[in-house]
Amino acid sequence: MRAIIAGTGGYLPERVLGNDQLAAEYGLDTSDEWIRGRTGIRQRHLAARGETASSMGAAAARQALEQAGIAVDEVDAIIVATTTPDSAFPSTAARVQAAIGARPGLAFDLSAACTGFIYALGMAESLMRSGAARCVLVIGTEIYSRIVDWTDRSTCVLFGDGAGAVVLRASDEEQERGLLSWHLHADGRHADILQVEGGAGSTGGAGLLRMSGREVFRHAVSKLAAVVDQALQANALDRSAVNWLVPHQANLRIIDAMGRKLGLPPERVVVTVDRHANTSAASIPLALAEAARDGRIKQGDLVLMEAIGGGLTWGAALARF
């Protein structure tokens, strides 16, 4: 059995805010020069009042199904990677299921912060291998504008809202295509360097994101390099086999470092962080959808995905489109 990536989709809220606009609107002591120089971010999309993780996720899912040419009643499982769910329960996945009119089946949310989409790919493939599902919607959807501290310039400038989705279809014939392998890690000893304080089960805190950027940066470079090597070695592939790097979009400096490590020219690295900022679990499926739609990623291409986020969690996945 191979989990084939049959379609991709994305959704971005209509409202776009450039760096200078953001600084002015939120009264932040920052500048386009600082944000762009440290992160590569030029602008971000911000959700409207009525939008939620499930409404954005449903929009991305519909587009992925349409692109795959798969009818909604073929979907038998939905996994939503999110750390900004509509509510503690029902899950965002159950809400998406109802919103797109999928038949009752398996649906659940998964929390692995910015690594959520890679985790969800791995869990989807496991479900498919076990025989529990043949067609899985894997969605990453986030509204970080609701959990950032808009008075903390060191974090609020980094994030944006959006959703991305892929449809995985089980195939017993196509052995060359599909998800080749996934590699997941977590180390909870580093929980406090990137976290959302508070929440329904906590004893305090305001439910806002806190990050020691420099610490996260240090872990990012070494852990992502190691997990990328792990993915290539597991498939006995040389880095030259990789056609596209589709990294989590947190910071252009980290993305560039990973591209250099793989010896990939910049045009083989899919970058959206400049326009989307960091959309956490949505960033990889949004980047996949963009590069598939504009014809960069073609059938047969080998795509390497990698991410690191709160937990700490980190991981990589290799797929042949």
Q: Does residue 185 carry a catalytic annotation?
A: no
* Closest approach of ligand ACO to the CB of residue 66, in Å: 30
| 17: its two tokens | 């805010």
* Residue among 19, 45, 114, 190 flagged as catalytic: 114
CA distances 5 to 130, 132, 309, 318, Å, are: 18, 18, 24, 11
By CB atoms closer than 10 A (0-12, 13-18, 19+), residue 74 is middle
What Rg, from alpha-carbon coordinates, does the chain have? 18
Closest to 25 measured CA to CA, from 151, 138, 181, 209:
151
Q: CB of 196 within 8 A of CB of 165?
A: no
Q: Does residue 251 carry a catalytic annotation?
A: no
* Residue among 45, 248, 251, 276 flagged as catalytic: 248
Q: CB of 277 within 8 A of CB of 50?
A: no
**Position 171 contacts ligand ACO (CB under 6 A):** no
Q: Count of H helices and E strands in the chain?
A: 10, 13
Alpha-carbon torsion, ordered 254, 260, 262, 264, to 10 deg:
110
| 112: its two tokens | 């692995």
**Position 279 contacts ligand ACO (CB under 6 A):** no
Alpha-carbon torsion, ordered 179, 160, 156, 90, to 10 deg:
-70
Of the candidate residues 20, 217, 268, 274, the single one contacting ligand ACO (CB under 6 A): 217
* Binding segment (CB under 6 A) for ligand ACO, from list 100-108, 150-158, 168-176, 296-304: 150-158
* Closest approach of ligand ACO to the CB of residue 236, in Å: 30
* Binding segment (CB under 6 A) for ligand ACO, from list 6-14, 167-175, 290-298, 307-315: 307-315
**Position 213 contacts ligand ACO (CB under 6 A):** yes
185: how many CB neighbours lie within 10 A of its CB?
Answer: 17
Of the candidate residues 46, 133, 163, 216, the single one contacting ligand ACO (CB under 6 A): 216
* Binding segment (CB under 6 A) for ligand ACO, from list 168-176, 233-241, 249-257, 285-293: 249-257
**Position 39 contacts ligand ACO (CB under 6 A):** yes
- Alpha helices in the chain, H assignment, sequence order: 19-26, 32-39, 53-68, 92-100, 116-130, 153-156, 213-234, 252-261, 273-276, 283-293
Nearer to ligand ACO, 111 or 230 (CB): 111
* Closest approach of ligand ACO to the CB of residue 223, in Å: 11
**Position 30 contacts ligand ACO (CB under 6 A):** yes
**Position 251 contacts ligand ACO (CB under 6 A):** yes
**Position 34 contacts ligand ACO (CB under 6 A):** yes
Orientation angle between helical segments 53-68 and 283-293, nearest 10 degrees:
30
**Position 26 contacts ligand ACO (CB under 6 A):** no
Write the interaction track for ligand ACO spanning residues 108-147; mark x where CB under 6 A is met and - where it is not.
-----xx---------------------------------
Residues within window 179-198 making contact with ligand ACO, judged by CB under 6 A: 194
Tell me which amino acid residue 305 is.
M
- List residues near ligand ACO by CB under 6 A: 30, 34-35, 38-39, 113-114, 153-154, 157, 194, 213-214, 216-217, 220, 250-251, 254, 278, 280, 308-310
Residues known to be catalytic:
114, 248, 278
